[in-house]
Amino acid sequence: SVMRIDTISIFPEYFAPLHLSLIGKAIDHGLLEVSSHDLREFTHDRHRSVDDTPYGGGAGMVMKPEPWGEALDSILEQLPSPRRRPVLVVPTPSGRPFTQHAAAELAGAEHLVFACGRYEGIDHRVLDWADEHFELHELSLGDYVLNGGEVAALAMIEAIVRLVPGVIGNPDSLVEESYSASTRGMLEYPVYTKPSQWRGLEVPGVLLSGDHGAVDAWRALRSREITAARRPDLLDQESPDRP
Ligand SMILES: COc1cccc(Cn2ccc3ccc(-c4cc(N)[nH]n4)cc32)c1
């Protein structure tokens, strides 16, 4: 089944890179449809204004609700009926953390819409209205502040789309990853390839031994060491994936 992704932003060109590499191939193979929409196309004044001063005062500007309402209406009108509610992802610093778990959850959606804000955010009534017409997810990429939602949306889209069957060339790499690292499991072990000697540096002997049991043990040990050193918080969680 084809996954459809719509992005809405005042900088739609941010999403041109999605047509490169893996995601580009998925689009070419008809597995994925990506459309980027310019929010200013839903303004009608001479200055095509999308922002105004915040009620209650404070620095910066807030994105006006009207253009967002018209942009989201336009997405809903273009849906084949009868339609399941599309998913609306709104990147925001105040969102629920976007994790591998969230990516897997969203990878099952048929239609994803990303509303990318700028300025100090979007008038909250847009989210209140959207909650009635979409399956709304306010998501944070991490504990740092970006200037807008576009970079967060790009990262989320890549994390989601690579989980869609058929998009990634080698499905095995996903299975391994889902059990050993980068999810709520552990951090990835170090990887090596030819040449076995490079600038006087060797590849760990066990990896050349052909002893798969020893290799698995070495990798599990390295993952645990690295996780303990860099992400002790991941070790505390009891998870069925980790014996
Ligand atoms: C809303 O509160 C804000 C406070 C200060 C600046 C901004 C800028 N900004 C506008 C829209 C927007 C969307 C997402 C993000 C974002 C997400 C993550 N994880 N970091 N930053 C930042 C955004 C917003």
Sketch out the chain's domains with CATH numbers.
3-161 (3.40.1280.10), 182-234 (1.10.1270.20)
Percent of the chain scoring above 70 in pLDDT: 90
- Only one residue has tokens 């399956």, namely 135
Percent of the chain scoring above 90 in pLDDT: 78
- Residues lining ligand 1, Cβ inside 6 A: 91-93, 117-121, 140-142, 144-149, 152
Q: From 68, 66, 86, select the one nearest 76 (Cα to Cα).
A: 86
Q: Give the residue, out of 98, 124, 126, 145, with the most ligand 1 atoms within 8 A of its beta carbon, to mutate for a pocket test.
A: 145
Q: From 4, 2, 5, 3, select the one nearest 154 (Cα to Cα).
A: 5
Q: What is the mean pLDDT of residues 139-155?
A: 98
22-57: pLDDT as tens digits: 678 888 888 999 999 999 999 999 999 999 999 999
74-102: pLDDT as tens digits: 999 998 776 789 999 999 999 999 999 99
Distance from the alpha carbon of residue 95 to the mean position of ligand 1, in angstroms: 10
Q: How far is CA 95 from CA 23, 66, 91, 166, 217, in A?
A: 25, 22, 7, 30, 38
The pLDDT value given to residue 170: 58
Q: Which residues pair with 63 in a beta bridge?
A: 51, 122
Higher pLDDT, 76 or 177: 76
Share the mean pLDDT of the chain: 91
**Prior bond to 195 cis, omega within 30?**
yes
Per-residue pLDDT at 179 exceeds 60: no
Look at residue 4 and give its three-state secondary structure: strand
The pLDDT value given to residue 180: 39
Distance from the alpha carbon of residue 29 to the mean position of ligand 1, in angstroms: 34
Q: What is the mean pLDDT of residues 138-167?
A: 95
The pLDDT value given to residue 181: 42
The pLDDT value given to residue 67: 99
Q: Put residue 131 in one of left, alpha, beta given phi > 0 → left and psi -120 to 50 → alpha.
A: alpha
The pLDDT value given to residue 172: 62
Look at residue 177 and give its three-state secondary structure: helix
Q: What is the mean pLDDT of residues 105-113?
A: 96
Compute how many other C-beta atoms are within 10 angstroms of the C-beta atom of residue 218.
Answer: 18
User: What ipTM does the predicted assembly reach?
Assistant: 0.96
Residue nearest to atom 18 of ligand 1 (CA): 93
Helix (H) or strand (E) holding 97: strand 87-97
Q: From 42, 8, 39, 238, select the one nearest 112 (Cα to Cα).
A: 8
Q: What is the mean pLDDT of residues 218-238?
A: 93
180-193: pLDDT as tens digits: 344 458 999 999 99
pLDDT bucket at 167, cuts 50 / 70 / 90: confident
Give every CB contact of residue 178 below 8 A, 6+ residues apart in sequence.
Answer: 100, 185, 241
Residue nearest to atom 20 of ligand 1 (CA): 145
Distance from the alpha carbon of residue 48 to the mean position of ligand 1, in angstroms: 22
Q: Based on the number of CB atoms within 10 Å of its own CB, is 100 exposed (0-12), middle (13-18) or buried (19 or more)? A: middle
The pLDDT value given to residue 79: 86
The pLDDT value given to residue 22: 65
